[in-house]
Structure 1
Amino acid sequence: MQSQPPPPRRRRFPWAGRNFRIQTAATVVSGLGNAGAPIATAFAVIEGGGSTTEVGYVTAARLVPVVLLLMIGGALADRLPRHHVMVAANLFSAVSQAVLAALVLTGQAQLWQLMVLSAAGGAGHAFYAPASEGMIMQSVAAEHAGRAFSVFRLALNSAQIGGMALGGALTAAVVPGWVLAVDAGCFLVAAALRLFLEAEPAAPAGAGGGMLRDLREGWQEFASRRWLWVIVLQFAVLMACITAVDAVYGPIVAEQRLGGARDWGLALAAHGTGLVVTGLVMVRWQPRRILLVGNWGVFLFGVPALALALAAPLPVLVVAMFLSGAGVTVFGVNWMIALQQEIPVEMFSRVCAYDHLGSLSLAPVGTALAGPAAAALGLSGALWACAALCLLLSAVVLLEPQVRRLSRRSAVGSAPPLGEPAAAR
């Protein structure tokens, strides 16, 4: 009697193709190291005798090349294999973080060196981010987008919890340089993982045209959707406020009123916990009005600034950071669904680049002016201003009808996800 072959093993997440699994794993690894790096960099400046203004300058130095180079990164990611762009960007970031770690560990880091190496890290991110978003959007079918993006952000945010907590603890226990060294190692591992990603040799839009044409087509795609550029304009100011709070005011308040790097790391870990817990909810929850619901999450972005302005004790700050993390996930998942649903696949990276460019355009200004604003308004006054702007902009954007009405729709005739066998789709 001939034995029957065993039934094929059922995969737990049949919608998650090869590229989705690899990109998610690599993003977790790099996110684990990157989550603690801003804490380490800020306290490296503070422990070196730097002022609030100098912390802002170092943070701004990282953001300026992001703003300047994002469009080139987006055009390259739609023209070249996206995994090649990501690997090169990860390797570049690993080298810059390793040099920064060595300078901090040897006690030889000067302000200009911190700014130059922070700028190098920002340049790496400018080329990595559009390719990464294009890859993850293309790696899942549209009908599974809500679940896939929730799982992706859940994995990333879980890594951020560990990274923030570890970064704060290591910065307090030893020196910030070790956190930066861990970040460099994580970039190397992530680059190695991304070598196994599959990608088409070139995006269709890139054939027969130059980079200026690619950028012009991406701009036309971006500008033709009012819901898209209205929210990006909103985030231009929001990110200036949030970056100033997270990278400048938060560490300063923690150093002056709380327990320093360890307590600020705990607060950031609470933010990450909010991201993760809400990610579990978003795996199941599929709201119909995706941008309307997403913007309700944006109302929570300013809660940490409010808690810091009120000189709230650590437990209250932890709750505020948790709520902010929840809002980020609610918005982020619905935003990714809107982009995948509305933007042609060959335009993903360019539109994402315009999204990042607009959202971060004022962040360097916000961080550079964080110190002068605190001097003019007082630290509490500057925090009140950030909280008020976040709440006001969250309300104003709801005046746009497309934001209120854009609805989730089922995918019909959508392109199959990249990196997944046709038989499994």
Structure 2
Amino acid sequence: MSGPALAPLRDRRFRWYFASRAVDLLGDIMGGVALAFAVLEVSDSPSALGFVLAAHSVPLVAFLLIGGVLADRFGRTLIIQLSNLTAAVTALAIAALVLTGHAEIWQLAALTAVNGVAAAANQPALAGLLPQLAPKGALQQANALNGLLRNTALVLAPAAAGALVVGVGPGWAIAINGATYLLSAALLLPIKLPAPPQRGKGDSIVADLRTGWTFFRRTTWLWVIVLAFSALNALSSGGFQTLGPAHAKGSEIGVHGWALILSSGAVGLVLTSIVFLRVPLRRPLLWGMLGCAVYAGQMIALGSTTELWILMTAAFVAGAGIEIFGLGWELAMQEHVPADMLSRVYSYDMLGSFVAIPVGQLAFGPLGAAFGVQQMILVAGLAYCAISLLSLVSRSVRSMTRAEAPVTESTTDAPVS
């Protein structure tokens, strides 16, 4: 593979960014797997694990908006580096507690909460940094390469984490994650970007948040998709991620079959990333939301049959569909949101999209018990498909095309749609 597909990697700054993301993704995914087993070594209670995981997700959601403002104000590479250093300290502290046998649940939850605050700054900054580094005319390829990296890590990192946990224990795996945070921050040092625009005395954090919110609510395609994903993520997290494993374990699918289903989805993600290194995506949100409707197929299949080959095929197609949405969404945001407020707008997107995930996780367990696990997976899939297609009623969603050049800065009379 060569030519335009790999054009971003010929840019020195993008190569440093790509290397940093590779290290960060592998370490972060491995660390998440290892942390779960570390918690279960301290307490075999699922409630304890849920408590520690919630300790990360709650501050992540709570501080996302502030994280977006900080990234736009002080520079995205700086915020990423500071958040990585903070995450490294928490990971190494957790590793030390686990390795010395002194870990307690409240300690793990407290340190994980600090990591969640760091992630709240890191995620909007990362989202806003990539378009600053993508070579001119290669934004789609840069996003596709980023997606390929992420999807490959999702395939490789859990297996590596499992081998480390079994071989040397979760404490050492978490320590390695701490080291990857430090290396990831160091790899960003060679990247030099222009300083963020100077702000006046009246430009407070509250004013920055208000500016981002004004753009968000006035931009129809933006709030329509975020509103849709408030429901879609709740349905996916509850119907597929929560009820899916329970259904698999209690049926002829089994744990091994469930692993094959997840692997099939990952292959769909990876191959689609490769395809879009070369194939242009002209209508990012139209094809993206059609991809989401396709993603619902794996829940509809899981709610209708236990034939493994059907479920694996549906998962493969679902992986392809959701990867198309992911690429389309990044292109829409990066080309149609002013660069100087991109991290702030991403933070509103993430807040709206993430906020209902715990609702789905908590609600679908009782619903499955009351109405049947497989039946509720089917309902979730049908609702997911319907909401995805309903979003296309909005003309601003279905008619959006690629911009010839990204919006570089915001203005008070910037057109929205």
Question: TM tier, shorter chain?
Answer: 0.7 to 0.9
Residue 362 of structure 1 pairs with residue 356 of structure 2: yes
Farther-moved stretch of structure 1 (10-19 vs 320-329):
10-19
5+ residue gaps, structure 1, are: 1-9, 417-425
Alpha-carbon spacing, 1:343–1:328, altered in 2? closer, same or farther (3 Å): same
Please give the root-mean-square deviation of Cα atoms over the aligned residues, in Å: 3.3
Distance 1:168 1:313 in 2: 28
Match of 1:351 among 325, 341, 345: 345
Distance 1:186 1:272 in 2: 23
SS for the counterpart of 1:283 is coil
Residue 50 of structure 1 pairs with residue 50 of structure 2: no
SS for the counterpart of 2:194 is coil
> Where does residue 74 of structure 2 map in the other structure?
80
Distance 1:226 1:247 in 2: 30
Give yes or no for contact 1:134–1:348 (8 Å, CA) kept in 2.
yes
Give yes or no for contact 2:234–2:358 (8 Å, CA) kept in 1.
yes
Give yes or no for contact 2:31–2:161 (8 Å, CA) kept in 1.
yes
Match of 1:63 among 35, 57, 77: 57
Give yes or no for contact 2:127–2:343 (8 Å, CA) kept in 1.
yes
Give yes or no for contact 2:303–2:377 (8 Å, CA) kept in 1.
yes
Alpha-carbon spacing, 1:373–1:211, altered in 2? closer, same or farther (3 Å): same
> Where does residue 91 of structure 1 map in the other structure?
85
Distance 2:330 2:284 in 1: 10
Structure 1, residues 23-43: CA drift from partner, whole Å, max 9, x if none?
Answer: 222111111122244444445
Match of 1:216 among 200, 210, 213: 210
Distance 1:387 1:373 in 2: 14
Letter in 1 for 2:11: G
Farther-moved stretch of structure 1 (293-302 vs 262-271):
262-271
Distance 1:303 1:97 in 2: 37
> Where does residue 3 of structure 1 map in the other structure?
none
Structure 1, residues 342-384: CA drift from partner, whole Å, max 9, x if none?
Answer: 1111111111111111111112333344544444445434433
Distance 2:361 2:7 in 1: 41
Alpha-carbon spacing, 1:67–1:14, altered in 2? closer, same or farther (3 Å): closer
> Where does residue 325 of structure 1 map in the other structure?
319
Farther-moved stretch of structure 1 (232-241 vs 360-369):
360-369
| CA shift for structure 1 position 231 | 0.3
Distance 2:174 2:301 in 1: 29
Give yes or no for contact 2:85–2:182 (8 Å, CA) kept in 1.
yes
Give yes or no for contact 1:26–1:190 (8 Å, CA) kept in 2.
yes
> Where does residue 410 of structure 1 map in the other structure?
404
> Where does residue 19 of structure 1 map in the other structure?
13
| CA shift for structure 1 position 157 | 1.9
| CA shift for structure 1 position 263 | 6.9
Residue 297 of structure 1 pairs with residue 291 of structure 2: yes
Letter in 2 for 1:87: Q
Letter in 2 for 1:295: M
Distance 2:312 2:254 in 1: 13
SS for the counterpart of 1:406 is coil
Structure 1, residues 185-243: CA drift from partner, whole Å, max 9, x if none?
Answer: 32222111122222333235677511111111111111111001110011112222333
Alpha-carbon spacing, 1:404–1:206, altered in 2? closer, same or farther (3 Å): farther
Give yes or no for contact 1:84–1:195 (8 Å, CA) kept in 2.
no
Q: TM-score, normalised by structure 2?
A: 0.84
> Where does residue 201 of structure 1 map in the other structure?
195
> Where does residue 415 of structure 2 map in the other structure?
none
Match of 2:236 among 233, 237, 242: 242
Residue 139 of structure 1 pairs with residue 133 of structure 2: yes
| CA shift for structure 1 position 271 | 3.2
Alpha-carbon spacing, 1:210–1:68, altered in 2? closer, same or farther (3 Å): same
Structure 1, residues 18-73: CA drift from partner, whole Å, max 9, x if none?
Answer: 3322222211111112224444444555674323x555444333221111100100
Residue 389 of structure 1 pairs with residue 379 of structure 2: no
| CA shift for structure 1 position 259 | 6.7
Distance 1:253 1:180 in 2: 31
| CA shift for structure 1 position 134 | 1.0
Task: Give me the identity figure in percent.
Answer: 36
| CA shift for structure 1 position 84 | 1.1
Match of 2:184 among 171, 180, 190: 190
Distance 2:373 2:232 in 1: 18
Q: TM-score, normalised by structure 1?
A: 0.82
Alpha-carbon spacing, 1:67–1:201, altered in 2? closer, same or farther (3 Å): same
Distance 2:365 2:6 in 1: 50
> Where does residue 228 of structure 1 map in the other structure?
222
Distance 2:148 2:303 in 1: 30
5+ residue gaps, structure 2, are: 410-417
Alpha-carbon spacing, 1:335–1:69, altered in 2? closer, same or farther (3 Å): same
Distance 1:90 1:304 in 2: 35
Farther-moved stretch of structure 1 (228-237 vs 320-329):
320-329
Alpha-carbon spacing, 1:37–1:234, altered in 2? closer, same or farther (3 Å): farther
Give yes or no for contact 2:217–2:223 (8 Å, CA) kept in 1.
yes
Alpha-carbon spacing, 1:206–1:177, altered in 2? closer, same or farther (3 Å): farther
| CA shift for structure 1 position 119 | 2.7
Farther-moved stretch of structure 1 (265-274 vs 69-78):
265-274
Give yes or no for contact 2:300–2:381 (8 Å, CA) kept in 1.
yes
In the alignment of these two chains, the number of paired residues is: 404
> Where does residue 158 of structure 1 map in the other structure?
152
Give yes or no for contact 2:95–2:171 (8 Å, CA) kept in 1.
yes
Distance 2:122 2:23 in 1: 15
